[in-house]
Structure 1
């Protein structure tokens, strides 16, 4: 194994960046390998309300969520937040690299510890067939004057109703479609989202649509996986994935739990 870093974190979404930051601020030499820029990850299109939504195990998720709430506001502008994490990581000495990983052995050749924050990518990379997509679609409209956020979800339904005022407009949602790999917006779904939100705030019906967003939440049968194992060629592999619809909500709690396994 090489010695260019103490830890390589694989995955550059909110979980990977937060975990890398916790480790770097504890004095570790950290490199983050991400196939996509943070702006191209699922994290970037999240509605980003602090909400333990579609995440297991419930008891641990509650503790992780409260840890995160102590650090950030309950509603987050994700592009701004991801950029802030990147800047803070750089200030702590962390290095962010665009790199596609096909085997954890590649990272183990560069550092004695590898942290797996690959989200949906863990399905093939681990491999873990229990990792499944839960498709979420959002609509962004020009804000007609809405200043309060609203969220209502039926666990038995794939449809949710919420709107969040953000600097770039009013974010409307949403859907939670299990095992749906489609990444293109569906026009019919978009119309239904606007209609549901307009039943709560009628002025939304006439708002101009500015964007459509689709993200695939990284759900996992059995819930979040935070555990360590030895790699076949030597080195330690720490897993931190399977956050479902609450990646932002549990980011700091899970990051600290994963960091504790690094030692």
Structure 2
């Protein structure tokens, strides 16, 4: 592929919009096609940078570090929705800190007095927090500034994105049917957004494979509380019982949240594969397809690194 060639990016979540920005700014003529703009699952993200529970580790580390570099740059502009924020990740079982955390600014083990009741270990560090509605709007503006276009249209198959010679599949869970890609599976996530009672730092519990998560991410006047990770569930309707449990878990750690007013519920289905898929294939008719999907709960964390990998697969050096 050469500069100014037309590329269709399918999907308008964080992976699709980031990839579209990277390609448009590299000189391609980019059109994004998606049924919902921006995508519901990305809108529902917390979101804190952290390459958590995704494989293959060597590529994930590289993609995540590249994204971290860019998020640090974006944090210099408040209009992006990205901020560098300090906080604590803690465990009730004295787990070791993840290797990606130990290299972050300000990393240090917590003193016992810093930990909530019931926690045996924790680590403090500074990391990008991303206010997703603000951030996705920023990506859309940046795409349009680079000459990209967005079309709201539901596709029945990936081939319906044409006529074009280049397609980038960032369809998230939708790729399971569009490609089709039977390896994709949903992991339902739910967050509760509340008014901010004065929190300036994040908190996250290392819950391992548990479906019940505990985290809160302050974004100015609001706080995003989490969460859930329900394997195999793709229903995007609000679960009132799960929401009440999220509020209770978070308020136990931070009592000020008990009286916070609920503003909205955000639900998404994390598109998950055993291994993140960033690879090229060529159809019999000559169409080049690059797949960039299956990021699970690390879509934001890997977004820039995977987008640049997609660009490298497409552009002639």
Q: Partner of 1:48: helix, strand, or coil?
A: coil
Map Cα deviations across residues 60-96 of structure 1 (whole Å, 9 max, x no partner).
Answer: 1111111111111410111111111111111111111
Partner of 1:256: 308
Q: How is 1:68-79 mapped onto 2 (pairs within 5 angstroms)?
A: 68-72=67-71, 73=75, 74-79=128-133
1:85-104 to structure 2, matched below 5 A, reads 85-104=139-158
Cα distance between partner residues in 1 of 2:221 and 2:184: 32
User: 1:201-235 CA deviation, whole Å, 9 max, x = no partner?
Assistant: 11111222121111111111x21101111113221
Q: TM-score scaled to structure 1, two decimals?
A: 0.93
For 1:103 and 1:207, locate their aligned partners in 2 and report how far apart those are by CA, in whole Å.
44
Kindly indicate whether the alpha-carbon contact (under 8 Å) linking 2:11 and 2:171 is maintained by their aligned counterparts in 1: yes
TM superposition shift of 1:186:
1.4
Contact 2:204/2:215 (8 A) holds in 1: yes
Higher strand share: 2
Counterpart Cα distance in 2 of 1:167 and 1:124: 38
1:105 corresponding residue in structure 2: 159
Query: Structure 2: 5+ residue runs without aligned partners?
Result: 76-127
Measured in 2, the distance between the counterparts of 1:47 and 1:36 equals: 19
Aligned to 2:106: none
SS of the equivalent of 2:54 reads coil
CA shift digits 1:11-65 (9 cap, x unpaired): 1111011111111111111111111111x52111110111112322222111111
* 2:280 corresponds to 1:228: yes
Asked if 1:157 is matched to 2:203, the reply is no
Structure 1 match to 2:26: 26
Q: Are the equivalent residues in 2 in contact too, given 1:12–1:41 (CA < 8 A)? A: no
Matched with 1:62 is 61
Distance between the aligned counterparts of 2:56 and 2:7, measured in 1? 27
- Give the alignment partner of residue 184 of structure 1, picking from 234, 237, 257: 237
Q: Pick one of 181, 199, 211 that aligns with 1:146.
A: 199
Q: 1:195 maps to what in 2?
A: 248
Q: CA deviation at 1:5?
A: 5.3
Residue of structure 2 in register with 1:237 after alignment: 289
- Return the index of the structure with the highest Cα Rg: 2
Residue 82 of structure 1 corresponds to 136
Q: Give RMSD over aligned pairs.
A: 1.4
* 1:133-179 deviations in Å (ceiling 9; x for gaps): 10111111111111111111322311111001113511110111110
Q: Following superposition, which runs of at least 4 residues in structure 1 exceed 6 angstroms of deviation? A: none
- Give the length in aligned residue pairs: 257
Correspondence for 1:128 among 161, 181, 190 = 181
Gaps of 5+ in 1: none
What secondary structure is seen at the aligned counterpart in 1 of 2:295?
coil
Query: For the Cα contact (< 8 Å) 1:53–1:246, is it kept in 2?
Result: yes
Match of 2:299 among 247, 252, 256: 247
| 8 Å Cα contact 2:40/2:267 also seen in 1 | no
